[in-house]
Chains A and B, each alone.
Chain A
Amino acid sequence: MIPTINLKELIFSTTRKRDTMALITYREALKQALAEEIERDENVCIMGEEVAQYNGAYKVTEGLWEKYGDKRVIDTPISEAAFSGLAIGSSMLGIRPVVEMMFMSFSYVAFDQLFNNASFCRYMSGGLMNVPIVVRGPANGGTNVGATHSHTPENLVANHPGLKVVCPSNAYDAKGLMKSAIRDNDPVFVMENTLLYGEKWEVPEEEFIVELGVANTLKEGTDISIISHGRCAMIALKAAEILQNEHAINAEVIDLRSIRPLDEDAILNSVRKTHRAVLVEENKPYCGVDAQISHLIQYKAFDDLDAPIHRVSAIDAPQIYSKPLEDWQIPNEQRIIDSVLKCLA
Chain B
Amino acid sequence: MPTKQAVKKSTGKSGSTKKFEAEAINKKLSKSEKLKLYKKIVAIRRFEERSLQAYNQGKIGGFLHLYIGQEAVATGIVSLMEENDHIITAYRDHGHALAVGMTMNECMAELYGKYTGCSKGKGGSMHYFAPDKRYWGGHGIVAGQTPLGAGLAFALKYKGLKGCAVCFLGDGAVNQGSFMETLNLVSLWGIPVVYVIENNGYSMGTSLKRSSAEESLAKRGEAFGIEWSTCEGHDIFEVRSAANKAMTYARDNLKPYILEIRTYRYRGHSVADANHEKYRTKEEIENYKKNKDPINVLKTKLLADKTLTEASAKEIDREIKAEAEASAKFAEESPYPPKSEITTDVYWTVDNDSDNQLKGTYFFND
Instruction: Indicate if the CB atoms of B158 and A45 lie closer than 8 Å.
Output: yes
Asked if residues A128 and B181 are in contact (CB atoms below 8 Å), the reply is: no
Asked if residues A86 and B147 are in contact (CB atoms below 8 Å), the reply is: yes
Q: Does A81 contact B (CB under 8 A)?
A: yes
* Docked complex Cα distance between A258 and B184 (Å): 36
Q: Are A162 and B185 in contact, CB atoms less than 8 angstroms apart?
A: no
A279 and B192 CA atoms in complex are apart in Å by 50
Question: Are A125 and B127 closer than 8 Å at their CB atoms?
Answer: yes
Is B44 in the interface zone, CB < 8 Å from A? no
Contact B359 A82 (CB under 8 A): no
**CB contact between B152 and one of A43, A89, A127, A185 (< 8 Å): that residue:** A89
Q: Of A57-65, A116-124, A223-231, A241-249, which stretch is located at the interface?
A: A116-124
Known: A112-B178, A299-B366. A117 touches B349 (CB 8 A): no
User: Distance (Å) between the CB of A87 and the closest chain B CB?
Assistant: 6
Instruction: Determine the interface band of chain B, counting residues with CB < 8 A from chain A.
Output: 35 or more
Instruction: Give the distance in Å from the alpha carbon of A108 to the alpha carbon of B159 in the complex.
Output: 30
Please tell me which one of the listed residues B119, B127, B347 contacts residue A186 in the complex, with CB atoms under 8 A apart.
B347
Return chain A residues, CB-CB under 8 Å to B177.
81
- Bound-state CA distance A186–B147 (Å) is 19
Contact pattern, B 340-366, Cβ under 8 Å of A = 1, otherwise 0: 000011111101100000111111101
The residue of chain B having its C-beta at the shortest distance from the C-beta of A300 within the complex is B366
The distance in angstroms between the C-alpha atoms of A288 and B358, with both chains bound, is 25
Task: Say whether A126 contacts B151, CB under 8 Å.
Answer: no
B77 at the interface (CB under 8 A from A): no
- What per-residue 1/0 map shows which CB atoms of A211-222 lie under 8 Å from chain B? 111100000000
Cα A85 to Cα B349 in complex, Å, equals: 22
Q: Tell me whether B120 and A126 are in contact (CB under 8 A).
A: yes
How far does the alpha carbon of A261 sit from the alpha carbon of B139 in the complex, in Å?
27
- Chain A residues with CB under 8 A of B344: 127
| Chain A interfacial residues counted at CB < 8 A | 55
**Cα–Cα, bound, A296→B364 (Å):** 9
Query: Given A161-B346, A261-B358, does the pair A125, B137 have CB atoms closer than 8 Å?
Result: yes
- The answer to the question of B15 belonging to the interface, with a C-beta cut-off of 8 Å to chain A, is no
- Answer whether residue A262 sits at the interface, using C-beta atoms and an 8 A cutoff: yes
Residues B349 and A124 in contact, CB atoms below 8 Å apart: no
CB neighbours (8 Å) of B364 from chain A are 262, 292, 296
Give the residue among A76, A79, A258 with the most B Cβ atoms within 10 A. Answer: A79
A16-48 vs B, CB cutoff 8 Å, 1 = contact: the mask equals: 000000000000000000000000000101000
User: Of A89, A130, A132, A214, which is within 8 A of B360 by CB?
Assistant: A214
Task: Report Cα–Cα, A288/B219, bound state, in Å.
Answer: 46
A287 CB to closest chain B CB (Å) equals 13
Chain A residues closer than 8 Å to B191, beta-carbon distance: 86
Whether, in the assembled complex, A264 has its beta carbon less than 8 Å from a beta carbon of chain B, the answer is yes
Q: Do A116 and B141 have beta carbons less than 8 Å apart?
A: yes
CB distance from B188 to the nearest CB of A (A): 7
> Quick check: B181 and A89 within 8 Å, CB to CB?
no
Q: How far is the CB of B20 from chain A (nearest CB, A)?
A: 31
B130 at the interface (CB under 8 A from A): yes
Of residues 139 to 189 in B, which have CB atoms within 8 Å of A's CB atoms? Answer: 139-141, 144, 146-152, 154-156, 158-159, 165, 177-178, 181-182, 184-185, 188
Whether A94 lies near B147 (C-beta < 8 A) is no
Contacts of B118 in A (CB 8 A): 126
Task: Establish whether residues A71 and B158, one from each chain, have CB atoms under 8 Å apart when the complex forms.
Answer: yes
Question: CA–CA, A117 to B152, complex, Å?
Answer: 14
CA distance A296 to B144 in the complex (A): 35
Q: A90-B154, A113-B178, A164-B347 are in contact. Are A264 and B185 (CB under 8 A)?
A: no
* A85 with B155, Cβ < 8 A, contacts A112-B178, A126-B119 known: no
B159 → chain A closest CB, angstroms: 8
A261 close to B137 (CB less than 8 A):
no
Cβ of A93 under 8 Å from chain B: yes
A86 to chain B, nearest CB (A): 4
B129 contacts chain A at the CB level, 8 A cutoff: yes
Check A124–B129 contact: CB distance below 8 A. yes
Assess the A86–B185 pair: CB atoms within 8 A.
Answer: yes
Q: Mark B112-139, 1 if CB is under 8 A from A, else 0.
A: 0000011111110001011110001111
- Contact residue among B147, B148, B156, B345 (Cβ-Cβ distance under 8 Å from A122): B345
Q: Are A126 and B123 in contact (CB under 8 A)?
A: yes
B150 surroundings in chain A (CB, below 8 A)? 82, 85-86, 89
Q: Does any Cβ of B come within 8 Å of A329's Cβ?
A: no
- Which of B165, B184, B345 is within 8 Å of A82, CB to CB? B184
Question: In the complex, what residues of A have CB within 8 A of residue B146's CB?
Answer: 85
Chain B residues, CB < 8 A from A214: 359-360
* Cα(A264)–Cα(B117), bound, Å: 35
Which residues on the A side are within 8 Å of B86 (C-beta)?
93
**Mask: chain A, 78-108; 1 = CB below 8 Å from B; 0 = not:** 0101111111111111110000000000000
Asked if B151 and A261 sit within 8 Å, CB to CB, the answer is no
* Interface flag for A184 (CB, 8 Å): yes
Q: Report whether A90 and B359 are in contact in the complex, using a CB–CB cutoff of 8 Å.
A: no
Cα distance A260–B159 in the bound complex, in angstroms: 32
Q: Which residues of A contact B363 (CB under 8 A)?
A: 161
Q: How far is the CA of A164 from the CA of B182 in the complex (A)?
A: 26
Q: Decide: A92 and B360 in contact? CB cutoff 8 A.
A: no
B348 pairs with A186, CB closer than 8 A? yes
Give the nearest-CB partner of A83 in chain B.
B185
Tell me if A261 and B360 are in contact (CB < 8 A).
yes
Asked if residues A89 and B154 are in contact (CB atoms below 8 Å), the reply is yes
B155 touches A93 (CB 8 A): yes
- Closest Cβ neighbor of A292 among chain B residues: B364
Complex-state Cα separation, A64 to B358, whole angstroms: 32
A71, A91, A127, A212: residue with the most chain B Cβ atoms closer than 10 Å: A127
Question: Which chain A residue shows the least CB distance to B167?
Answer: A89
30 sample A-B contacts, Cβ–Cβ < 8 Å, listed by A number: A77-B184, A79-B185, A82-B150, A89-B148, A89-B151, A91-B151, A93-B151, A93-B155, A94-B155, A95-B151, A95-B159, A124-B122, A124-B127, A124-B129, A124-B137, A125-B131, A126-B122, A126-B129, A127-B344, A129-B129, A130-B348, A161-B346, A164-B347, A186-B347, A186-B349, A212-B359, A261-B359, A261-B360, A263-B360, A299-B366
Since A212-B360, A262-B364 are in contact, a sample of 5 more A-B pairs with Cβ atoms closer than 8 Å, ordered by chain A residue number, is A93-B155, A125-B345, A126-B119, A126-B129, A299-B366
